[in-house]
Amino acid sequence: MRFTVLATFSALVAYAWFMIKVGRARRQFGIEAPRITGDEAFERIFRVQQNTVEQLVLFLPALWLFGVYVSDPVAGILGLCWTGARVLYATEYYADAKRRGPGAALTILLALVLLIGGTAGALLH
Amino acid sequence: MRFTVLATFSALVAYAWFMIKVGRARRQFGIEAPRITGDEAFERIFRVQQNTVEQLVLFLPALWLFGVYVSDPVAGILGLCWTGARVLYATEYYADAKRRGPGAALTILLALVLLIGGTAGALLH
Amino acid sequence: MRFTVLATFSALVAYAWFMIKVGRARRQFGIEAPRITGDEAFERIFRVQQNTVEQLVLFLPALWLFGVYVSDPVAGILGLCWTGARVLYATEYYADAKRRGPGAALTILLALVLLIGGTAGALLH
């Protein structure tokens, strides 16, 4: 399962980076916990992390179904593409919320390919 | 693990549907990212997705513990009931926030049965 | 995998407790769904749950990678420490948002140790 593990690692390292950015942005923009609003630039950084949580709960089970029941290397490659799509989403969203679309769409598409492929693979196993 | 996989698939397809509804609601109610408030109907649609993330992090590990250590078909049946409870929760919440209770309670109850049963099964294994 | 299962169980039981506290706090502070703001004490209770979701998506995959590829008992011990760090985080945050730092830092540190160790273990397997 080396490729699936590597894809999991890369996705979670990207996520940890988005998380650390929120902590820094709290100090930079003076948004004290428990507040999560008050500055549009902070809110963009916060939403990148939140949206990545929303996507990880779909992606990680789908990745592992595909890795276990279809192909470890293909799961790994699609999973690394997912991380790439997330980094694209984040860097675009940090710059301008209107530019977050392509990265967001690619993220969901890859997760659905992994989910449908992994489920089909498990049922035909 | 066919039944556990099918329950995972059904839960994540329901979740993907809740997620797509948020994207549409952003356009319909004119709530531009990164904002997540400003219209009560939008907020209900958004909270259905968010609450489903909050439940999935409990449900998915519990489902798989039960499927692996107790019974794949029973996990599958309880997992499909969980998806049913989530769809009930969502359709009621979309209509009126006050009606979200029964679906929410049933969701948590099923997840706790899977968690306690799966953990007991693993320890007695 | 008994120790890894027990650590999963303890983390999810703590999380379920944080979740139940949010439901009670909605009634206590009169914050009706879908609202998630309006009283600072409610917001602290809500953020403890939300932040635990944000940490669980990192912790649970990392815990299982470590448990499967490195050591089940060590994963179990580090995982139980993670739950302890989360309970510290929650009780401190409930009292005063400014005191949430140590529990939050310890949570992330333990998850990163599990993630890096588990990934290294899988690649050397």
Its sign, for the CA torsion C106, C46, B13, B65, is positive
Q: What is the pLDDT of residue C28?
A: 96
Q: Which regions in chain B score pLDDT beneath 70? A: none
Q: Does C55 contact chain B (CB < 8 Å)?
A: no
Q: What is the ipTM of this complex?
A: 0.96
Q: Is the peptide bond preceding residue A61 cis, with omega within 30 degrees of 0? A: no
Residue A38 CB coordination number (10 Å):
11
Which positions 61-90 of C are in contact with A (Cβ < 8 Å)? Answer: 61-62, 65, 69
Compare all CA atoms of chain A with the CA of B50 and give the residue at the minimum distance: A54
Q: What is the pLDDT of residue C124?
A: 95
Report the gap between the CA of C69 and the closest CA in chain B (Å). Answer: 18
Angle, CA B8 vertex, CA A119 and CA A65 arms, to 5°: 40
- The answer to whether the CB atoms of B122 and C5 lie below 8 A apart is yes
Q: What is the pLDDT of residue A9?
A: 98
Compare all CA atoms of chain B with the CA of A58 and give the residue at the minimum distance: B12
Instruction: For residues C11 and C3, give the distance between their C-alpha atoms in angstroms, rounded to a whole number.
Output: 12
**pLDDT exceeds cutoff 90 at C40:** yes
Instruction: For residues A80 and A69, give the distance between their C-alpha atoms in angstroms, rounded to a whole number.
Output: 18
Work out the pLDDT band at A45, boundaries 50, 70, 90.
Answer: very high
Report the gap between the CA of A116 and the closest CA in chain B (Å). Answer: 8
- For residues A48-62, average pLDDT: 98
Report the gap between the CA of B66 and the closest CA in chain A (Å). Answer: 16
Question: Closest partner residue to A58 among B1, B6, B12, by Cβ?
Answer: B12
CA-to-CA dists, residue C52 to A26, B86, C11, C102, C121, angstroms: 18, 21, 9, 15, 26
pLDDT digits (tens, 9 = 90+) for C80-91: 999 999 999 999
Share of chain A above pLDDT 90, in %: 99
The residues near B124 (Cβ < 8 Å, ≥ 6 apart) are none
- For residues C25-34, average pLDDT: 96
Q: Does B41 contact chain C (CB < 8 Å)?
A: no
Work out the pLDDT band at A42, boundaries 50, 70, 90.
Answer: very high
What dihedral do alpha carbons C93, C95, C98, C103 form, nearest 10°? -40
**pLDDT exceeds cutoff 90 at C125:** no
Which amino acid would we find at residue C74?
V
pLDDT digits (tens, 9 = 90+) for C57-100: 999 999 999 999 999 999 999 999 999 999 999 999 999 999 99
- The answer to whether the CB atoms of A5 and C122 lie below 8 A apart is yes
Domain annotation for chain B: domains and CATH numbers: 2-120 (1.20.120.550)
Q: Does C107 contact chain A (CB < 8 Å)?
A: no
Q: What is the pLDDT of residue B63?
A: 98
Q: What is the pLDDT of residue B125?
A: 84
Q: Which residue of A51, A57, A96 is the best one to mutate when testing the B interface, meaning the one whose CB has the most B CBs within 10 A?
A: A57
C66, burial (CB in 10 Å: exposed 0-12, middle 13-18, buried 19+): buried
Instruction: For residues C69 and C75, give the distance between their C-alpha atoms in angstroms, rounded to a whole number.
Output: 10
pLDDT digits (tens, 9 = 90+) for B88-123: 999 999 999 999 999 999 999 999 999 999 999 999
Its sign, for the CA torsion C11, A79, B20, B103, is negative
What would the DSSP string read from start to end of B4-70?
A: HHHHHHHHHHHHHHHHHHHHHHHHHHT--TT---S-HHHHHHHHHHHHHHHHHHHHHHHHHHHHHHT
